Amino acid sequence: MDVALADLRRWNRYPRAILFLDEPGRLKGLTADQLGRLKNDGIRLLRLPSIVELSQHDGMALLPMREISVEELLAREPINLDRAAVRALVQGRRVLVTGAGGSIGAELCRQVATFRAAHLTLLDFSETSLFEIDRELGETCPGLSRKAAMVDVRNASRVAACFEAEKPDLVFHAAALKHVSMVEWHPCEGVLTNVIGTLNVAKAARASGAAQMVLISTDKAVDPSNVMGATKRLAESVIQAQQNGSGTRFSAVRFGNVLGSAGSVVPIFKSQIDRGGPVTVTHEDMARFFMTIPEAAQLVLHATATCAGDNEGDDARLFLLEMGEPVRIMDLARQMIALSGRTPGKDIEIEITGLRPGEKLSEALLDDTERSVPCAPKVMEVVSSSALRVTANHLLTLEALAEQGDVDDVRRALFDLVAQIRGEKPGAAPALRVVANG
């Protein structure tokens, strides 16, 4: 490409934009340095819309092109999933998404709209986030029946009333406090939103007759070293305890970091690079699993479609999305600096700041008591030999401590419950029911 561009410059035909016909994740021949130089030369890097985006532009004579994002250039090769199963899951059904204004929640809403849901309920407690996703869908999918519901998942009666009015068939529970450091400093808020909020949504889903409820979980729930991960592990256990063999089907989907989500490392690095650096990395050996927002949402829908036809058994199912190989955060920082057209260590410095409380050098996707079995393309099912269920009664003390704002006692009670779930400690009264899946 360098030779071709040099010739074009010599002939006074230097391009103002380059349209890539292949997916950005498949641009294996181009390095981050080369792409960075193109952007520095003022060349716009454009791509055609994806299949998901195309369906929002039916009947248009011209295909809308858009800029390739940094997230797409950093992503692994895109996956191709069977859309028929997801269409069968969503089309003509009423869908409710909690945390609808968040990164994953909003993308789930977009894709649910794409697959022509009969009605979509957008539930979020952030006024701005809810307004933005509602406005966006009003513009891109004007024919979609939808309702924006400003409801806090902590408020059980409001959640129940919303579900009763909306009567969803499918519920995707993406509402959560997710930032490790913030939840570490505010464990009471983490418990009330991530644990009690999940219980409230699960109860409302069953009471309103929903066919399925899916919890969006995280790899930080595996052997959690921080409060956020512990609350999500407890949320998974809450979901597992809801399944009683009939009625609403419950499941959880666990995956790693999402490229470009609000507050994640990519937008932070972007803003640091725009300011001229330094780019801050907590540890030179830190590594994380990454996928793009659309890919994560597609796989959540795919895993849910896999679960949809299974109406047997007494156990909620826990799915694991195939995350590929972990990415070193230091490599990610260097790549992003190169993509900006600058040189790491010369134009932009990288500064090591040290691990924050609760942070690990690497994340795992499976706990010591778990194994995974393939169940669909790019989706695995987690089978646990020590899946202790936590009932609502076990959460009474934890909720009371959180409501009182007792930080130390909440942290202690939370990790005590997680230790019981992981089989590290015997279950306290009331007795926890052991479910052996394998």
* Closest to 142 (Cα-Cα) out of 86, 66, 50, 58: 58
DSSP, collapsed to helix, strand or coil, labels residue 330 as: helix
The one catalytic residue in 178, 203, 220, 378 is 220
Sole residue written with tokens 């995707």: 172
Cβ atoms 282, 352 nearer than 8 A: yes
Cβ atoms 418, 233 nearer than 8 A: yes
- Identify the DSSP state of 91: T
**Alpha-carbon distances, residue 425 vs 382, 415, 428 (angstroms):** 21, 11, 9
With 0-12 / 13-18 / 19 or more C-beta atoms within 10 angstroms meaning exposed / middle / buried, residue 263 is exposed
Active-site residue flag, 220: yes
Cis bond before residue 278 (omega within 30° of 0): yes
With 0-12 / 13-18 / 19 or more C-beta atoms within 10 angstroms meaning exposed / middle / buried, residue 30 is middle
Residue type, 59: G
d(CA 321, CA 308): 17
Element (DSSP H or E) covering residue 251: strand 249-255
User: Cα dihedral angle (298, 300, 305, 310), rounded to 10 degrees?
Assistant: 160
Sole residue written with tokens 């998404």: 97
Q: Where are the beta strands (DSSP E) in 68-218?
A: 94-98, 119-124, 146-150, 170-173, 212-218
d(CA 193, CA 176): 6
Q: Which residues are catalytic?
A: 220
